[in-house]
Structure 1
Amino acid sequence: MLLSQSAIAAKSDLQQPTGGTTPLTIERLYASPALAGSSPRGLKLSPDGQRVTYLAGRSEDQHLYDLWQMNVATGEQAILLNADQLKSDELSDEEKARRERQRIYGQGIMEYFWSDDSQALLIPASGALYYYAVATQKVELLPTGEGFTTDAKLSPKGNFVSFVREQNLYVLNLKTKTLTALTHDGGGAIKNGMAEFVAQEEMDRMTGYWWAPDESSIAFTRIDESGVEQVTRNEIYADGIKLTEQRYPYAGKNNVTIELGVVNISDQAVKWVDIGQEKDIYLPRVKWLPDSKQLSFQWQSRDQQTLDLRIADLRSNDSPQIVIKEQSQAWVNLNNDLYFLKKQPQLIWASERDGFNHLYLFDLQGRLIKQLTKGDWAVDEVAYIDEKAGWVYFTGRKASIIEKHLFRVPIKGGKIEQISQRSGMHAPVFADNQAIYLDYFNSLAQPPQISLHSSEGKHLAWVEQNKVDKTHPLHPFFGLWQLPEFGQIKAEDGQALQYRLFKPTAFDATKKYPVVVRVYGGPHAQLVVNSWSEHDYFTQYLLQQGFVVFQLDNRGSAHRGTKFEHVIYKRLGEAEVNDQKAGVDYLRSLDYVDGDNIAIYGHSYGGYMALMSLFKAPTHFKAAISGAPVSDWSLYDTHYTERYLSHPESNAKGYEASSVLPYVKGYQSGLLMYHGMADDNVLFENSTRVYKALQDEGKLFQMIDYPGSKHSMRGEKVRTHLYRSLADFLERQLKH
């Protein structure tokens, strides 16, 4: 029996927003100018700490980005490069797919890279590469030859530009303008210097090559996709159907085979690194040591229960040494927190070996020197390492599970100091060679702000204060903005579940209100946070229409440790649904909740959760909205699916129990599904299988499919139609 009546309310120091009382409309939610105001992206500090650079959308078109700069010494801000100066041709299919994996959306300048000496910028645009010299303030189109370039990089010392074209790796000497192909066998199933599908989508590895610090060579992956099942995927557009041939590694099927090589820049000779006899593995990370003579790589078993850090000495033919081994009875989460110190033969490594993600100091032989952080809270990531002053800066949940703050700890170990203070989410960006940082801050009551700080946290300057004053796009509506109540209830195993509850505008405790439960529910995500999100715009609209909106982070979600996460191993959609049911039990204990009119709404894993909840718990949920859901995990990729469900051959019952399809018979009424018909992440077939199963059972439901839309349902017109449809559905289901 869930202890739903013993909810613990959490206090918040957020101040109620003030402003105009104009009601929100669906049409205004994603129109320009953006409700969040000026919210630059692509924040960087030049390595010398003298300039702040960022991408800013135009007021007339928030999705068209120019490159801006701020002088740190004077605070003066000016446009650095207008996107109109660059080529604006159509992107290649490869680059479109890569940007979808990176969650990069927009036009104009979308990426840029500083040289290590802070004297130049590399800017990719529409398959071409531009070089901006700070001294001359001139932009130059680089001679990269025919074809579309992707994954471009400046070499560490700024002498070369590298890129991938037609599945081969190239370098351009910036002094001589000589272009050299470093690999030659790319094409068809062979890809050099490119990250495979699951590396991009599931491992947060968007590249397949890495420069040595001294520019002498490049480490790169060579992947062979010939063993991966080739499928013909239909992308359905309004004016036709595009047939896309894609090698997609379905759960239980073959992955790519991968090799790791090091190519010498001067003579293009390649040395292959011994990654072991087992070929059915993953290489999620590759990183050079500071001496440019040793190369590290992370070796992950197919079942993801073992993760090795291995170091190869390229001066010898010896096999790489296993320096650190992480193991789990469920799975080992990946992270990006491996740092080799330059002044000492030591490394900093993040691990969940004690149940929470924490930082550890090792020597290069893998001997533990010191655990730097510990406790029943999680480190998010390392932000900066200041070897000279002896500090490791990191973000984490030490102060609050619903907030992310910046902390620091001595490299040698010692007391942890909290740097950031304001309640909310802090995402610091440090300069490479200066201990100053940009703080990308936001909270439920404050759209994103960007400020410059000293290493001790002292506020130095605003880059974008984004104050919601009378000139701000949000101000006319901000007086009706509602902040949630935070609290927690208990799961069936006694673990605490965090929730946030939004009451309707003009709340009257004597009335009873219908509820919309907004859910994600999957791993590596957290909804119950003190954070600004454009996804909450629709929540605010619903509050103004007289709905309560409730969110609960069920077991399996992020930042709560392995015990909280691993509950879902080998059986998805069970503990998560039970926890959402516990949330409904709590809601029904509230006098102002209409317990017979509760709907659940989610997208992606949230769409899966909406289906599972409605089908398995129809007495708890009257209606559901399911967007782009996974319906059968055999249709999803190897790395994600097998991490949580293991291999289909060893867990056939788990796959069946985790599928939506066996529970279709439990459906009664009140379902709306939607899906992008060109979705290359959660394939459209996931929804069509549910459509057919419901139709075969004679069940009535509604569906809306969007021609040409991908998984994220981008575009103002698409989103406006979508949210108008969802609002209409909720009004009909819960109020009539």
Structure 2
Amino acid sequence: MKKIFSLFAIGLLTASLCAQRLELKDITAGKYAQRSVQPVTSSADGESYFQVDSKNTMIIKYSYKTGLPTDTVFDVNKARDCTFKSFQGFVMSPDEKRLLVYNDYESLYRHSFKANYYYYDIRRNLVRKLTQNPSKQSIPTFSRDGRMLAYMSDNNIWLAKFDFDTESQVTKDGAIGKIINGGTDWVYEEEFGTTCLMDFSADSRLLAFVRFDETEVPEFSFQLYADRLYPDLFSFKYPKAGEANSKISCNVFDIDAKTIRKMNLPTNNVEYIPRIEFLPAGDELAVMTLNREQNDFSMYYANARSAVARQILHEKNDRYIDSELLNTIQFFGNQFTYISEKSGYSHIYLYESTGVLQKTLTSGNYDVTKLLAVDPVTKAVFFESAEEGALYRSIYKVDMVKGIKTKLTNKQGTNSATFSQNGKYFINRYSNTTTPAQITMNDAAGKELRVLEANTNLQNSLAALRIPKKEFITVKATDGTDLNAYIVKPADFNASRKYPLVMVQYSGPNSQEVQDKFGIDWTDYLTTQGFIVAAVDGRGTGARGEDFRKCTYLNLGIKESDDQVAAAQYFGSLSYIDKDKIAIWGWSYGGYNVLMSMSRGNGVFKAGVAIAPVTDWKFYDTVYAERFMRTPQQNMDGYNAGSPIKLASQLQGNLLLIHGSADDNVHFQNSMDYVNALVKANKQFDMFVFTDKDHSIGGAANRTYLFEKVTKFLKTNM
């Protein structure tokens, strides 16, 4: 009897261990995803925030300080004339007396969407459709006083005046594939991260907008196959490297006079206008511009009534200027902030509104990675930096007057913060490699007020698993530079064995894979299948100063692949790694670098998996490709040297090529042309296509299928 019980207990234990094994389908289904909190919208005074309830039926106002609800500003069950039972999102007016809610969300590209918007007057508790126009609306923009709203529909701008319950059409030349007013084209959305270029003046009497003429931009098309007898053709304007961009102009609509003026910028060297914004007072509009090479940045103040513009800020760079730095310009009073790399690292500078430099607010051999908020009352600037090293992020504030810097977070790992208006409070998200996200509410001094999400259930689930830990190390680049890396060994690692190695990487300019933060991914599953996993951030990656991240300029793919090859050779020298069984994996830019590394690595990689790879930079968009490579006409040698298509005959190792056929970002054309080059070179390879899937190949079922295929390929071909 005792023996039978013991066997039964052992059986239960074995079953329990099997049930708690890390399974791929659980990872792709999000079982080990970190819980977050619902997005919040700060009130104008920075003391409260607005948040949607879990059922998307109410918008509730909470106190940042106490976390307690103070008001329900919208409720579908109580609002008069409300015809819907839930909503998908909202936009609050600056005066907080009005808001918009929307339904029927229709995604366009990565960020942009259109929807049916509804206007809600909070004081009257009344809902109505924003417009009777049957076309959906996008990029709604409130006037500063909250009494008007501009929005785009069918590429034209419309203006709603709430006091008079009227709307009028501001522009009439908008046309799909030709003219865009107020919104942005594909490449602005993808590479500048903006979908709206409209803004109202401080007195709400002027509306500025950028007009795009994409008539001459070449059109790209791809077929959609699923559930169609005859495939549909999806076409959109996509400027490839060296081709025509949209022609742009900055305009101001005078609401009272009903006239549109084009702003006269005192230069012809303007290819891009990534950002416009009216100053906090007066009629001057800040217009931020870049030349085609993106190494010459100017900010102009345009008088919106006279249309005369003057240069306020100007910066040139021998390589390129990161357009994200333009978003660090924050106007307040008669000053503004700006992050520049002119010292060799990204640091914060304080300017007078006239463009005169007042003070350098941060300095040192580290990068400020984000400017988060400015409090003009306490004279504090809040920011994120990698001062403790590229692996880490912490939150700081600096006094604009005294120059005193204060660290606001005390846990080493990765901190990211979202501040209330004027920086009075912030929500901090912290994690490290072993700790899932800890989300807290903090005051401006960094004091933790309460925990919003501790991910306790996830931590408990992980405790029952044997999760391998990341070990941070450094390896040498070909020129001797130390490169940050991590290595992950199986939970049952045996140093006397030799393991196959899979190197995962992205490697793109200013990117990072090697950071002290939490995440359970398919690569953790790989370690349960007998693989060791490693990642190396080669030259060109982020948070290590300007020279390090820009050293790949004009020669993408060369140093990045050299560094992966050097790292593979180092790993192959370790006693527990089989140097004849090393593979490399990557997606997008990472997929590109897989092909470059396998073509330039002299056989160091036994296998490689390239997902949605660029195969020649001439196929990619103007803004990204030309920022790092200039145009093919200017740098044909660089384009050829960094083209996997041109290097197809040098490919060594077993290759699995994967792409989505409806990828609007890295077009399927990249893989198809590469296939042609491999066939001509008589290189055998494996390929898989996801029908009608875009660049992300999203969905739990798709991701499970993809990573099962990749895992099987690696097991078979190493």
Question: What's the TM-score once normalised by structure 2's chain length?
Answer: 0.89
Q: 2:526 aligns with which of 537, 542, 545?
A: 542
Q: 1:629 aligns with which of 613, 618, 632?
A: 613
Return closer, same or farther for 1:653/1:433 CA change in 2, 3 Å cut-off. closer
Q: What is the alpha-carbon distance in structure 1 between the residues aligned to residue 570 and residue 656 of structure 2?
A: 25
Matched, 1:600 2:595: no
Q: What is the alpha-carbon distance in structure 2 between the residues aligned to residue 68 and residue 615 of structure 1?
A: 56
Classify the secondary structure of the residue corresponding to 1:409: strand
Q: What is the alpha-carbon distance in structure 2 between the residues aligned to residue 70 and residue 249 of structure 1?
A: 45
The AA in structure 2 aligned to 1:36 is: A
Contact 1:40–1:57 (8 Å) recurs in 2: no
Q: What is the alpha-carbon distance in structure 2 between the residues aligned to residue 616 and residue 493 of structure 1?
A: 16
Classify the secondary structure of the residue corresponding to 1:660: coil
Contact 1:44–1:429 (8 Å) recurs in 2: no
Q: CA-to-partner distance for each residue in 1:318-338, whole Å, 9 max, x for gaps?
A: 3x2222211112111112444
1:118-267, aligned counterparts within 5 Å?
Answer: 118-126=96-104, 127-131=115-119, 140-188=128-176, 189-237=178-226, 239=228, 241-267=231-257
Return closer, same or farther for 1:350/1:413 CA change in 2, 3 Å cut-off. farther
Q: What is the alpha-carbon distance in structure 1 between the residues aligned to residue 697 and residue 58 of structure 2?
A: 24
Matched, 1:527 2:530: no
1:77-476, aligned counterparts within 5 Å?
Answer: 111-126=89-104, 127-131=115-119, 140-188=128-176, 189-237=178-226, 239=228, 241-278=231-268, 281-318=271-308, 320-334=309-323, 335-343=325-333, 345-412=334-401, 414-433=403-422, 435-467=424-456, 469=457, 472=458, 475=461
Matched, 1:502 2:488: yes
Deviation of the 1:37 alpha carbon = 4.5
Q: Partner of 1:96 in structure 2?
A: none
Deviation of the 1:529 alpha carbon = 0.6
| Further displaced range: 487-496 or 401-410 | 487-496
Contact 1:40–1:55 (8 Å) recurs in 2: no
Gaps of 5+ in 1: 1-18, 59-63, 90-107
Q: Partner of 1:75 in structure 2?
A: 67
Q: What is the alpha-carbon distance in structure 1 between the residues aligned to residue 150 and residue 419 of structure 2?
A: 25
Return closer, same or farther for 1:72/1:231 CA change in 2, 3 Å cut-off. closer
Q: Partner of 2:28 in structure 1?
A: 30
Q: What is the alpha-carbon distance in structure 1 between the residues aligned to residue 72 and residue 21 of structure 2?
A: 35
Contact 2:436–2:459 (8 Å) recurs in 1: no
Higher Cα Rg, which structure:
2
Deviation of the 1:305 alpha carbon = 1.5
Contact 2:97–2:122 (8 Å) recurs in 1: yes
Return closer, same or farther for 1:596/1:111 CA change in 2, 3 Å cut-off. farther
Contact 1:35–1:473 (8 Å) recurs in 2: no
Question: What's the TM-score once normalised by structure 1's chain length?
Answer: 0.87
Gaps of 5+ in 2: 1-16, 105-114
Q: Partner of 2:503 in structure 1?
A: 517
Q: What is the alpha-carbon distance in structure 1 between the residues aligned to residue 57 and residue 366 of structure 2?
A: 37
Return closer, same or farther for 1:618/1:129 CA change in 2, 3 Å cut-off. same
The AA in structure 2 aligned to 1:605 is: Y
Q: What is the alpha-carbon distance in structure 2 between the residues aligned to residue 69 and residue 706 of structure 1?
A: 44
Return closer, same or farther for 1:664/1:68 CA change in 2, 3 Å cut-off. farther
Return closer, same or farther for 1:87/1:356 CA change in 2, 3 Å cut-off. farther
The AA in structure 2 aligned to 1:716 is: A
Q: Partner of 2:108 in structure 1?
A: none
The AA in structure 1 aligned to 2:144 is: P
Q: Partner of 2:659 in structure 1?
A: 675
Q: CA-to-partner distance for each residue in 1:549-600, whole Å, 9 max, x for gaps?
A: 1111111112222211221111111100111112112212322111211110
Deviation of the 1:241 alpha carbon = 2.5
Classify the secondary structure of the residue corresponding to 1:558: coil
Aligned length: 685
Contact 1:669–1:699 (8 Å) recurs in 2: no
Q: Partner of 2:12 in structure 1?
A: none
1:556-635, aligned counterparts within 5 Å?
Answer: 556-635=540-619
The AA in structure 2 aligned to 1:388 is: V
Contact 1:161–1:171 (8 Å) recurs in 2: yes
The AA in structure 2 aligned to 1:211 is: F
Q: CA-to-partner distance for each residue in 1:238-259, whole Å, 9 max, x for gaps?
A: 6453212222211111111100
Matched, 1:650 2:638: no
Matched, 1:44 2:44: no
Classify the secondary structure of the residue corresponding to 1:447: strand
Classify the secondary structure of the residue corresponding to 1:362: strand
Deviation of the 1:702 alpha carbon = 0.9
Classify the secondary structure of the residue corresponding to 2:466: coil
Q: What is the alpha-carbon distance in structure 1 between the residues aligned to residue 596 and residue 382 of structure 2?
A: 41
Return closer, same or farther for 1:419/1:156 CA change in 2, 3 Å cut-off. same
Deviation of the 1:474 alpha carbon = 6.8
Classify the secondary structure of the residue corresponding to 1:585: helix
Contact 1:348–1:359 (8 Å) recurs in 2: yes
Deviation of the 1:376 alpha carbon = 1.2
Return closer, same or farther for 1:579/1:511 CA change in 2, 3 Å cut-off. same
| Further displaced range: 631-640 or 276-285 | 276-285
1:685-704, aligned counterparts within 5 Å?
Answer: 685-704=669-688
Q: What is the alpha-carbon distance in structure 1 between the residues aligned to residue 568 and residue 76 of structure 2?
A: 49
Contact 2:270–2:292 (8 Å) recurs in 1: yes
Deviation of the 1:275 alpha carbon = 2.4
Q: What is the alpha-carbon distance in structure 2 between the residues aligned to residue 88 and residue 146 of structure 1?
A: 17
Return closer, same or farther for 1:431/1:710 CA change in 2, 3 Å cut-off. same
The CA RMSD measured in Å over matched residues stands at 2.8
Classify the secondary structure of the residue corresponding to 2:410: coil
The AA in structure 2 aligned to 1:460 is: L
| Further displaced range: 180-189 or 402-411 | 180-189
Classify the secondary structure of the residue corresponding to 1:475: helix
The AA in structure 2 aligned to 1:172 is: A
Deviation of the 1:41 alpha carbon = 5.1
| Further displaced range: 633-642 or 72-81 | 72-81
Q: What is the alpha-carbon distance in structure 1 between the residues aligned to residue 58 and residue 21 of structure 2?
A: 32
Deviation of the 1:512 alpha carbon = 1.5
Return closer, same or farther for 1:56/1:243 CA change in 2, 3 Å cut-off. farther
The AA in structure 1 aligned to 2:205 is: S
Q: What is the alpha-carbon distance in structure 1 between the residues aligned to residue 48 and residue 216 of structure 2?
A: 48
Deviation of the 1:412 alpha carbon = 2.7
What fraction of aligned residue pairs are identical, expressed as a percent?
Answer: 28
Q: What is the alpha-carbon distance in structure 1 between the residues aligned to residue 503 and residue 59 of structure 2?
A: 39
Q: What is the alpha-carbon distance in structure 1 between the residues aligned to residue 52 and residue 521 of structure 2?
A: 23
Q: What is the alpha-carbon distance in structure 1 between the residues aligned to residue 415 and residue 122 of structure 2?
A: 30
Deviation of the 1:205 alpha carbon = 2.0
Return closer, same or farther for 1:512/1:391 CA change in 2, 3 Å cut-off. same
Q: What is the alpha-carbon distance in structure 2 between the residues aligned to residue 41 and residue 74 of structure 1?
A: 17
Deviation of the 1:663 alpha carbon = 1.5
Deviation of the 1:462 alpha carbon = 2.3
Q: CA-to-partner distance for each residue in 1:276-323, whole Å, 9 max, x for gaps?
A: 4526611112121111411111121111121111111234453x2222
Classify the secondary structure of the residue corresponding to 1:324: strand
Deviation of the 1:20 alpha carbon = 11
Q: What is the alpha-carbon distance in structure 2 between the residues aligned to residue 570 and residue 300 of structure 1?
A: 18
Q: What is the alpha-carbon distance in structure 2 between the residues aligned to residue 636 and residue 221 of structure 1?
A: 24
The AA in structure 2 aligned to 1:187 is: A
